[in-house]
Structure 1
Amino acid sequence: MGLRINQNIAAQNAYRNLSVTDNQMSKSLEKLSSGFRINRAADDAAGLSISEGLRAQVGGLKVAVRNAQDAISVVQTAEGALNEVTSMLQRMRDLAVQASNASLDADAKNAAQKEFAQLGEEIDRIGSTTAFGKSKLLDGSFGTTQELVGTKTTDPMPTSVSFDVTHLGDNATALVPPISISASVAADATAQDLAAAINTSLSTALKAAGHQGNELQISASVASDGTGVTWTASGSKEFTMANGIADLDIASATPSGASANPTSGDFQIGANSGEKLGVVISKMSTDSLGISTNSLSTTAGASAAITALDSALKTVSDQRADLGAFQNRFEHTINNLNVSVENLSASESRIRDTDMAQEMVSFTRSQILTQAGTAMLSQANQASQNVLSLLR
Structure 2
Amino acid sequence: MGFQINTNVSAMNAYRNLSNTQNDMSKSLEKLSSGLRINRAADDAAGLALAEGLRSQVNGLGVAARNAQDGIGVIQTAEGALSETHAILQRMRDLAVQAGNDSNNEESRAAISTEVAGLAAELDRMAKTTNFNGNQLLNGSTTSMAFQVGAEGNVNNQITINLGSANVQAVANTLTGGDLTTTGTSFAIADVADLAGPASFTTSKDGVATTVTTGALGAAASFDSVEDYAAALREDAAFAANFSVAVETDANGAGVGIVVTALNGGTLTTADNATAGAGLGAGAEGTSVTGGLNFDNAANAQASIEMIDEQIKTISTARAELGAVQNRFESTINSLNVSAENLSAAESRIRDTDMAKEMSNFTRSSILSQAGTAMLAQANQMNQGVLQLLG
* TM-score (norm: length of structure 2): 0.70
Encode CA deviations 1:279-329: one digit per residue, 9 max, x unaligned. xxxxxxxxxxx972x412332221111111111111111111111111100
Report the counterpart of residue 48 of structure 1 in structure 2.
Answer: 48
Report the counterpart of residue 151 of structure 1 in structure 2.
Answer: none
- Equivalent pair of 1:243/1:249 in contact (CA under 8 Å): no
SS of the equivalent of 2:92 reads helix
Report the counterpart of residue 299 of structure 1 in structure 2.
Answer: 298
Counterpart of 1:383, as a letter, is M
Report the counterpart of residue 197 of structure 1 in structure 2.
Answer: 247
1:242 matches 2:277: yes
Report the counterpart of residue 376 of structure 2 in structure 1.
Answer: 377
Report the counterpart of residue 57 of structure 2 in structure 1.
Answer: 57
1:365 matches 2:364: yes
Counterpart of 2:246, as a letter, is A
Shift of 1:9: 1.1
* TM-score (norm: length of structure 1): 0.70
Q: 1:249 to 1:26 in 2, by over 3 A?
A: farther
Report the counterpart of residue 91 of structure 2 in structure 1.
Answer: 91
1:220 matches 2:261: yes
Which structure carries more relative contact order (alpha carbon 8 Å, separation 6+)? Answer: 1
Q: 1:384 to 1:160 in 2, by over 3 A?
A: same
Report the counterpart of residue 122 of structure 1 in structure 2.
Answer: 122
**C-alpha distance in structure 1 between counterparts of 2:104 and 2:357, whole Å:** 90
Counterpart of 1:321, as a letter, is A
Counterpart of 1:220, as a letter, is T
Report the counterpart of residue 39 of structure 1 in structure 2.
Answer: 39
Report the counterpart of residue 2 of structure 1 in structure 2.
Answer: 2
SS of the equivalent of 2:318 reads helix
**C-alpha distance in structure 2 between counterparts of 1:16 and 1:133, whole Å:** 66
Shift of 1:128: 2.1
- Equivalent pair of 1:7/1:384 in contact (CA under 8 Å): no
Q: 1:63 to 1:239 in 2, by over 3 A?
A: farther
**Superposition RMSD on alpha carbons, in Å?**
3.7
**C-alpha distance in structure 2 between counterparts of 1:62 and 1:30, whole Å:** 29
Report the counterpart of residue 166 of structure 1 in structure 2.
Answer: 196
Report the counterpart of residue 204 of structure 2 in structure 1.
Answer: none
Q: 1:56 to 1:86 in 2, by over 3 A?
A: same
- Equivalent pair of 1:296/1:305 in contact (CA under 8 Å): yes
Shift of 1:96: 0.6
**C-alpha distance in structure 2 between counterparts of 1:29 and 1:179, whole Å:** 71
- Equivalent pair of 2:51/2:347 in contact (CA under 8 Å): yes
> Which of 215, 219, 240 is matched with 1:175 structurally?
219
Q: 1:221 to 1:327 in 2, by over 3 A?
A: same
Report the counterpart of residue 73 of structure 1 in structure 2.
Answer: 73
Report the counterpart of residue 113 of structure 1 in structure 2.
Answer: 113
Shift of 1:358: 1.1
- Equivalent pair of 2:100/2:302 in contact (CA under 8 Å): yes
**C-alpha distance in structure 1 between counterparts of 2:189 and 2:388, whole Å:** 123
Shift of 1:160: 4.0
> Which of 268, 273, 282 is matched with 1:230 structurally?
268
SS of the equivalent of 1:2 reads coil
> Identity rate of aligned residues, in percent?
52
Instruction: Name stretches of at least 5 consecutive residues in structure 1 with no aligned partner.
Output: 148-154, 184-193, 206-216, 251-289
- Equivalent pair of 2:65/2:336 in contact (CA under 8 Å): yes
Report the counterpart of residue 22 of structure 2 in structure 1.
Answer: 22
1:348 matches 2:339: no
Report the counterpart of residue 281 of structure 1 in structure 2.
Answer: none
Counterpart of 2:127, as a letter, is G
Shift of 1:71: 0.3
